[in-house]
Amino acid sequence: MAWEAVRAVLQHPRCQNCHPQGDAPLQGDDSRPHGQNVLRGPTGRGMVGMECVTCHGPGNLPASYGEHVPPGIASGWRMPTPEHKLVFANMASAALCAQLKDPAQNGGMDSAALRHHLEDPLVTWGWAPGVGRTPIPTPRESFLGAWETWASQGAPCPVAAP
Ligand code: HEC
Ligand code: HEC
């Protein structure tokens, strides 16, 4: 089912680490809480003095810097705002699906806006995450194909487990 292919990407560590239940981003393939007590802050860009971009620059560092360095993107590293948390981590499939489609929870995005967002550097980074991080195994074209199939079917969600 197309949704299942989409779900598997959303809940891959490279995606869900910025989409946690709580206010700390996650890190690593085990999605553990981010070190240094980093928190979402009022706009998703971190707390005063601990903004994400203090450490996360405009791109991944060259491989010569080795592992465990902060990754980066040109459009500004950040996580969703407290108003629209867009939780991916530890969500049941049906609830994740419903949340994604609900404009009240996704920041007012319709299907076209959501599809457009998939071209954002925040998202494309997951396929080129830098040295020492597992890229998303689903090829990007397959993910986009699954997304479009799902959307064209009317974005059906699985029935919630009782
Ligand atoms: C560096 C943090 C970060 C990473 C990594 C990240 N996202 Fe996001 N994501 C965000 C932010 C921030 C938003 C809110 C929209 C914005 O600010 O542009 C968002 C919003 C979204 C949305 C739209 C909102 C909704 O309705 O749920 C989708 C879909 C999404 N991300 C998918 C992904 C996917 C797929 C990946 C992995 C390939 C990913 N994200 C990785 C930060 C991130
Ligand atoms: C004090 C520096 C610092 C600040 C501030 C900081 N980070 Fe990080 N971040 C790091 C480092 C270093 C790593 C890499 C850790 C590693 O690979 O072992 C990292 C890794 C991450 C990862 C893991 C990527 C992955 O998939 O494994 C995410 C997500 C992340 N940071 C999000 C954020 C967000 C969101 C903010 C702001 C709210 C932020 N960080 C603020 C230093 C920082």
Residue for token pair 């998303």: 136
Max mean pLDDT among 41-45, 101-105, 148-152 falls in 41-45
Question: How many domains does one find in the chain?
Answer: 1
What is residue 103's predicted lDDT score, i.e. its pLDDT? 86
Is 160 among the domain residues?
Answer: no
- 13 ligand 1 Cβ < 6 A: no
Average pLDDT rounded to a whole number, residues 144-157: 94
Token digits of residue 85: 């948390």
Residue for token pair 């450490």: 55
20 contacts 26 by C-beta, under 8 angstroms: yes
Is 38 among the domain residues?
Answer: yes
CA of 145 to the centre of ligand 2 (A): 30
What pLDDT, in 10s, does the model give residues 80-104?
999 999 999 999 999 999 999 998 8
- 28 ligand 2 Cβ < 6 A: yes
Is 117 among the domain residues?
Answer: yes
- 36 ligand 2 Cβ < 6 A: yes
- 52 ligand 2 Cβ < 6 A: yes
> In the chain, pLDDT over 90 holds for what percent of residues?
87
Is 158 among the domain residues?
Answer: no
- The atom number, within ligand 2, closest to the CA of 54 reads 5
Question: Quick one: which of 20, 13, 59 has its CA closest to 40?
Answer: 20
Is 159 among the domain residues?
Answer: no
- The atom number, within ligand 1, closest to the CA of 12 reads 37
What pLDDT, in 10s, does the model give residues 58-74?
999 999 999 999 999 99
Is 52 among the domain residues?
Answer: yes
90 contacts 21 by C-beta, under 8 angstroms: yes
CA of 3 to the centre of ligand 1 (A): 17
What is residue 111's predicted lDDT score, i.e. its pLDDT? 83
Is 161 among the domain residues?
Answer: no
Its domain, for residue 11, covers 2-152
Is 87 among the domain residues?
Answer: yes
Report the phi/psi class of residue 138: left, alpha or beta, with left for phi > 0 and alpha for psi in -120 to 50: beta
CA of 70 to the centre of ligand 2 (A): 5
